[in-house]
């Protein structure tokens, strides 16, 4: 799998993470960030400066859809959910990650 | 695409800016709470929360940008989705009502197809530029006499020389004339060809170079030079097998040798004669016509002139110069040119003169049909829209909005139009060759010289334009009307007075248009039948003609004997009743004319002498043609070649013109023909229309062959048997007399006569078909409207009957409605027809554009049709049971 520079890789991975997060149900932006932090036990801390552009781009591409709803606080918040297209993309990207991670692991973690 | 994009739904519509702001503000607040929960104090919590945002300004900007792009994209996608939905819906509607859809598409495709077919023909024949370089610079020059009605008179050679020398607006000018010549070479039998003899400059003016060899140059025009000839493409192919070594070959033209120097391309050459005839042909060969010093003093008018304007000269300049040149003509030869003027006509205009009126009439008719079709379809669609009012109410309530509904109906119309257009194009493609087959050659003669039309793009553009015009006119209008005041619509499918009024005006328009077409049809039909009734002056059935051109080497005496033998043997041939000969037969050929004057009057001033058609006849010509002899005698053996006073026979018109009430026999004429000198009138015959039924009778002077020896003559035979049976025997006779003599231009005079009215026949036929279609559509329109009106008023009728009205009075009520419409529309239609009558006069023959019979017939026909159409609904109305009406809510 061709890999350009670190940014591309990061952005692509972030997109996949967001998609996966939303596959569990709709969330607002803060909800996505929190979930990722908690699930990875603070290993992955997403900066808002990266998160929101990613969310907007994903929506523009049609992988997410957004709607206004009421948050836990009772305030109005913008919720995202996965579209059918997004689900398809998530599956494809998960598979690619498996292949990639598997290959890298094979090399890096092999007995000398 | 998730369809619930409530992010942008009207209730929650935020701009991109607000959206980003609000979302990020929320996130910030949640973070702050999170840190507060984790035990930080407020200022610290807030600081840390903000830190996570990095450069907030930049973040906001980035997000806004993406949001805006996203919004735009969504809007486009939404709009597209709507159109797709509309289209799918339209498709469903189309299939669910197959009969209705088929009807609409059928009518539309006929209208569209007819238009495309006619306009592609008009395009090919009239609109394309001639296939010469800069064709708009080409003009033809003519003379015109003050008193005679002929606008395009051929030119006198001396005047031609004058124009050529003195014109400054014309770059180059050439004269030419087309004559018959016999072509022969050793290999094959002789061919009777049309030879165009041209002065220098002819080919250069038209700007077309030979495909092989060269055009004429100075050496060909020099005194005493060998004769040269240029072949046309079809003679080269037909007779010389398209061989390239034909250049330099000699052949004999009229028994004199000539060398081939060039071959012209296919598209070159057409009949440019002043009267475009059904038998006008492109020239077969070209030869030189040197301009000699004798031209300056020559009399007689016989030259055709074509010229190319100087680059800087405008057409107006050239016209103005013609005025000057006309005066110069008068100065140089005052007597000869008195009352004559010169003028020019652009070549394109001149060639189109014959074709333009009928094609224009056809184009107008076909546009009318399209209009009627559109109106009809609009009516049908409006009616349908009314029945869908329930559906529209619901959709409106669901938030569709009026614009959306109108668009929906528009898409439905667009779908039907598009289908109709494809069908129509197919129809047009099929119909075009049929149309071309019907139309006479004279209309197509310019077609070969016109650039091939860019058929696809121009026709496609026209078709698409028509499609859009039709769709908009009948697609939007019913939709707009149908959705007006939706809340007034009753769910049971009746939309009340609005609908009725729209349909009223639609049918009104239809009837007016139908009247126009019907009147046009009536007039052209009458025109045609009058033409058929015209007596051409001779009996054409059973009449056969063919031409012969004996060799130039025959002496006068031999020539005389030849025709003697020929005619007497032919008369004795089985199946032949009589035979005669003439220089030019009526209708199928153009004959000569010259000036004359009666000797018992004062000699007229030069240039003012009357002119007559000249014919030389032999044998029992008049009997064969069944041209009645009105006084005196025909020619006989007493008319000897050496007689002092030549004999002539004149036609009745000439005799009546000069000697009304008196006998013309014995009177003498001075005719500028042959040796000149006085001639004595020995007989008067009935008039003959030389140029066809539509042409006026010309004064005619007949000479006896004994006294005016002509070499080439056309023989006419009267036979009871069909032409195919007789001709072989005729050929046998001819070859007995001279085995090598070709016999050509065999014609059946009945066919010739029929062909001369072909144009009027086709026009009457086509417009007639369209008129019938228009009448049917108008009747259908009335029927539909009345049926609809009756349904609307069912309750009212029921009420009336319950209150004691008789069924017939109800029916009368309905009929009266129809009558009002009919009378109003008919009057309007007649008024418009009368106003527009002027334009149609150019294609009519002896019928006035305000011919009363036509208008009366049209009115009666329309009235019958419309009343008939309204009968059925009227009868249904009278059968409405009162109880039914009362039961309805």
How many C-beta neighbours within 10 Å does residue B728 have? 9
CA distance B152 to B163: 16
The answer to whether the Cβ–Cβ distance between B70 and A52 falls below 8 Å is no
B615 has pLDDT over 60: yes
How many C-beta neighbours within 10 Å does residue A97 have? 15
How many C-beta neighbours within 10 Å does residue B870 have? 27
CA distance B379 to B269: 51
H or E element, residue B276? none
- Work out the percent of chain A whose per-residue pLDDT is above 70: 89
Residues of B in contact with A33 (CB under 8 A): 27
**What is the per-residue pLDDT for B440?**
64
B682 has pLDDT over 50: yes
Lowest-pLDDT choice from B115-119, B603-607, B802-806: B603-607
Our CA-based measurement puts residue A104 at a distance from the nearest CA of chain B, in whole angstroms, of: 32
B161 Cβ neighbours under 8 A, 6+ residues apart:
B291, B295, B296
CA distance B518 to B854: 9
CA distance B718 to B570: 10
**What is the per-residue pLDDT for B140?**
92
The answer to whether the Cβ–Cβ distance between B59 and A66 falls below 8 Å is no
Note the pLDDT tens digit of each residue in B522-553. 888 888 888 888 888 888 888 999 988 887 77
Residues of B in contact with A60 (CB under 8 A): 66, 69-70, 73
Residues of B in contact with A46 (CB under 8 A): none
Note the pLDDT tens digit of each residue in B725-768. 888 899 888 888 888 787 887 888 888 888 778 778 888 888 88
B855 has pLDDT over 80: yes
Q: Where are the beta strands (DSSP E) in B511-572?
A: 543-548
Residues of A in contact with B53 (CB under 8 A): 48-49
The answer to whether the Cβ–Cβ distance between B66 and A60 falls below 8 Å is yes
Give the best residue of A66, A71, A73, A88 to mutate against chain B (max B CB count within 10 A).
Answer: A66
B811 has pLDDT over 60: yes
The answer to whether the Cβ–Cβ distance between A29 and B7 falls below 8 Å is no
| Chain A residue closest in CA terms to B69 | A60
Give this prediction's pTM: 0.72
Residues of A in contact with B58 (CB under 8 A): 49
Residues of B in contact with A37 (CB under 8 A): none
**What is the overall mean pLDDT for chain B?**
83
**What is the per-residue pLDDT for A2?**
41
Which ipTM value was assigned to this complex? 0.88
A107 has pLDDT over 80: yes
**Mean local confidence (pLDDT), B804-828:** 86
CA distance B59 to B62: 5
**Mean local confidence (pLDDT), B825-846:** 85
How many C-beta neighbours within 10 Å does residue B819 have? 15
**What is the per-residue pLDDT for B582?**
92
Greater confidence (B90 vs B876) lies with B90
The answer to whether the Cβ–Cβ distance between B2 and A29 falls below 8 Å is no
Lowest-pLDDT choice from B374-383, B414-423, B568-577, B679-688: B374-383
Residues of A in contact with B59 (CB under 8 A): 48-49, 52-53
CA distance B599 to B871: 74
Strand partners, B176: B198, B304
**Mean local confidence (pLDDT), B692-707:** 87
The answer to whether residues B528 and B763 touch, using CB atoms and an 8 Å cutoff, is yes
The answer to whether the Cβ–Cβ distance between A71 and B22 falls below 8 Å is no
**What is the per-residue pLDDT for B505?**
85
**What is the per-residue pLDDT for B1?**
41
Note the pLDDT tens digit of each residue in B431-450. 888 877 777 655 555 655 66
Note the pLDDT tens digit of each residue in B74-84. 889 888 998 99
**Mean local confidence (pLDDT), B382-401:** 76
Lowest-pLDDT choice from A83-87, B460-464, B697-701: B460-464
The answer to whether the Cβ–Cβ distance between A67 and B24 falls below 8 Å is no
Check if A66 contacts B (Cβ < 8 Å).
yes
| Chain B residue closest in CA terms to A63 | B1
The answer to whether the Cβ–Cβ distance between A78 and B26 falls below 8 Å is yes
**What is the per-residue pLDDT for B722?**
87
**What is the per-residue pLDDT for B651?**
92
Our CA-based measurement puts residue B23 at a distance from the nearest CA of chain A, in whole angstroms, of: 6
The confidence band for B273, taking pLDDT boundaries of 50, 70 and 90, is: low
**Mean local confidence (pLDDT), B325-332:** 89
Chain B residues interacting with chain A (CB cutoff of 8 angstroms): 1-2, 4-7, 12, 19-20, 22-24, 26-27, 29-31, 33-34, 52-55, 58-59, 62-63, 66-67, 69-70, 73
- The two three-digit tokens of residue B572, written as one number: 């004795």
- Work out the percent of chain B whose per-residue pLDDT is above 70: 91
The answer to whether residues B108 and B424 touch, using CB atoms and an 8 Å cutoff, is yes
Residue B5 has its nearest CB partner, among A28, A65, A71, at A65
Note the pLDDT tens digit of each residue in B498-514. 667 777 888 898 899 99
């Amino acid at each position: 799998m061709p890999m350009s520079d670190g940014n591309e890789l990061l952005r692509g991975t972030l997109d996949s993470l967001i998609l996966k997060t939303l596959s569990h149900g709709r969330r607002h932006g803060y909800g996505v960030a929190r979930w990722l932090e908690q699930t990875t036990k603070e290993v992955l801390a997403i900066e808002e400066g990266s998160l929101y552009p990613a969310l907007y781009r994903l929506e523009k591409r049609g992988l997410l859809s957004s709607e206004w709803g009421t948050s836990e606080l009772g305030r109005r918040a913008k919720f995202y959910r996965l579209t059918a297209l997004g689900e398809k993309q998530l599956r494809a990207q998960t598979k690619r990650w498996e292949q990639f991670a598997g290959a890298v692991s094979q090399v890096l973690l092999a007995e000398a | 695409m998730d369809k619930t994009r409530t992010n942008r739904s009207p209730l929650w519509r935020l701009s991109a800016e607000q959206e980003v702001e609000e979302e990020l503000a929320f996130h910030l607040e949640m973070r702050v709470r999170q840190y507060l929960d984790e035990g930080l104090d407020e200022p610290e919590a807030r600081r840390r929360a903000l830190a996570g945002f990095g450069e907030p300004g930049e973040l906001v900007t980035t997000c806004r940008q993406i949001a805006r792009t996203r919004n735009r994209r969504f809007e486009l996608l939404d709009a597209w989705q709507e159109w797709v939905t509309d289209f799918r819906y339209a498709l469903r509607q189309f299939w669910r009502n197959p009969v209705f859809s088929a009807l609409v598409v059928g009518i539309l495709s006929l209208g569209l197809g007819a238009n495309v077919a006619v306009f592609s023909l008009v395009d090919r024949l009239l609109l394309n530029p001639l296939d010469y370089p800069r064709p708009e610079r080409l003009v033809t020059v003519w003379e015109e006499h003050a008193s005679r009605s002929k606008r395009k008179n051929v030119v006198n050679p001396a005047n031609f020389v004058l124009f050529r020398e003195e014109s400054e607006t014309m770059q180059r000018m050439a004269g030419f004339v087309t004559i018959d010549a016999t072509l022969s070479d050793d290999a094959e039998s002789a061919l009777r060809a049309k030879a165009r003899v041209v002065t220098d400059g002819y080919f250069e003016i038209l700007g077309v170079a030979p495909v092989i060899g060269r055009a004429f140059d100075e050496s060909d025009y020099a005194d005493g030079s060998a004769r040269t000839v240029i072949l046309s493409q079809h003679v080269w192919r037909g007779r010389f097998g398209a061989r390239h070594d034909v250049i330099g070959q000699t052949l004999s033209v009229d028994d004199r040798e000539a060398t081939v120097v060039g071959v012209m391309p296919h598209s070159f050459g057409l009949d440019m004669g002043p009267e475009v005839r059904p038998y006008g042909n492109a020239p077969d060969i070209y030869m030189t016509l040197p301009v000699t010093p004798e031209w300056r003093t020559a009399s007689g008018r016989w030259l055709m002139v074509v010229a190319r304007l100087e680059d800087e000269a405008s057409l107006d300049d050239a016209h103005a110069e013609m005025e000057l040149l006309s005066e110069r003509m008068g100065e140089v030869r005052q007597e000869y040119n008195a009352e004559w003027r010169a003028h020019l006509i652009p070549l394109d205009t001149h060639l189109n003169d014959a074709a333009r009126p009928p094609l224009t009439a056809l184009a107008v008719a076909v546009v009318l049909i399209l209009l009627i079709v559109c109106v009809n379809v609009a009516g049908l669609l409006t009616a349908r829209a009314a029945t869908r009012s329930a559906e529209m109410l619901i959709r409106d309530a669901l938030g569709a909005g009026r614009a959306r509904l109108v668009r929906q109906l528009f898409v439905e119309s667009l779908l039907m139009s598009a289908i109709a257009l494809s069908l129509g194009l197919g129809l047009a493609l099929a119909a075009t060759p049929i149309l071309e087959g019907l139309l006479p050659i004279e209309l197509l003669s310019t077609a070969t010289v016109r650039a091939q039309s860019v058929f696809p793009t121009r026709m496609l553009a026209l078709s698409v334009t028509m499609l859009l015009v039709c769709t908009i006119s009948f697609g939007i209008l019913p939709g707009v009307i149908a959705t007006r005041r939706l809340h007034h619509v009753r769910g049971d499918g009746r939309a009340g007075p609005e609908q009725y009024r729209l349909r009223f005006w639609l049918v009104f328009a239809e009837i007016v248009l139908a009247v126009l077409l019907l009147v046009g049809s009536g007039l052209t039909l009458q025109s045609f039948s009058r033409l058929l009734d015209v007596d051409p002056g001779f009996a054409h059935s059973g009449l056969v003609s063919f031409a012969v051109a004996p060799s130039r080497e025959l002496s006068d005496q031999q020539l005389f004997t030849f025709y003697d033998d020929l005619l007497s043997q032919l008369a004795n041939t089985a199946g032949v009743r009589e035979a005669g000969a003439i220089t030019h037969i009526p209708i199928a050929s153009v004959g000569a004319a010259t000036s004359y004057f009666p000797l018992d009057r004062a000699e007229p001033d030069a240039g003012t002498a009357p002119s007559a058609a000249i014919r030389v006849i032999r044998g029992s010509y008049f009997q064969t043609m069944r041209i009645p002899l009105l006084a005196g005698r025909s020619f006989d053996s007493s008319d000897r070649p050496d007689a002092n006073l030549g004999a002539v026979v004149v036609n009745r018109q000439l005799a009546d013109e000069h000697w009304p009430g008196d006998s013309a026999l014995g009177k003498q004429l001075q005719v500028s023909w042959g040796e000149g000198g006085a001639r004595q009138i020995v007989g008067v015959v009935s008039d003959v229309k030389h140029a066809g039924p539509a042409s006026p009778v010309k004064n005619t002077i007949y000479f006896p062959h004994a006294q005016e020896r002509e070499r080439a003559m056309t023989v006419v035979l009267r036979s009871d048997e069909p032409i195919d049976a007789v001709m072989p025997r005729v050929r046998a006779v001819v070859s007995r007399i001279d085995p090598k003599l070709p016999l050509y231009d065999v014609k059946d005079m009945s066919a010739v006569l029929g062909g001369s009215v072909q144009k009027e026949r086709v026009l009457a036929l086509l417009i007639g078909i369209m008129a019938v279609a228009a009448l049917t559509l108008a009747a259908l329109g009335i029927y539909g409207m009345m049926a609809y009106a009756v349904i609307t008023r069912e309750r009212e009728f029921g009420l009336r009957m319950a209150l004691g009205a008789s069924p017939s009075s109800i029916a009368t009520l309905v009929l009266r409605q129809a009558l009002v419409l009919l009378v109003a529309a008919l009057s309007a239609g007649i008024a418009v027809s009368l106003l527009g009558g002027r334009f149609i006069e150019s294609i009519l023959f002896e019928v006035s554009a305000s011919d009363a019979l036509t208008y009366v017939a049209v009115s009666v026909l329309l009235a019958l049709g419309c009343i008939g159409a309204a009968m059925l609904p009227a009868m249904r109305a009278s059968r409405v049971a009162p109880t039914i009406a009362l039961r309805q809510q």
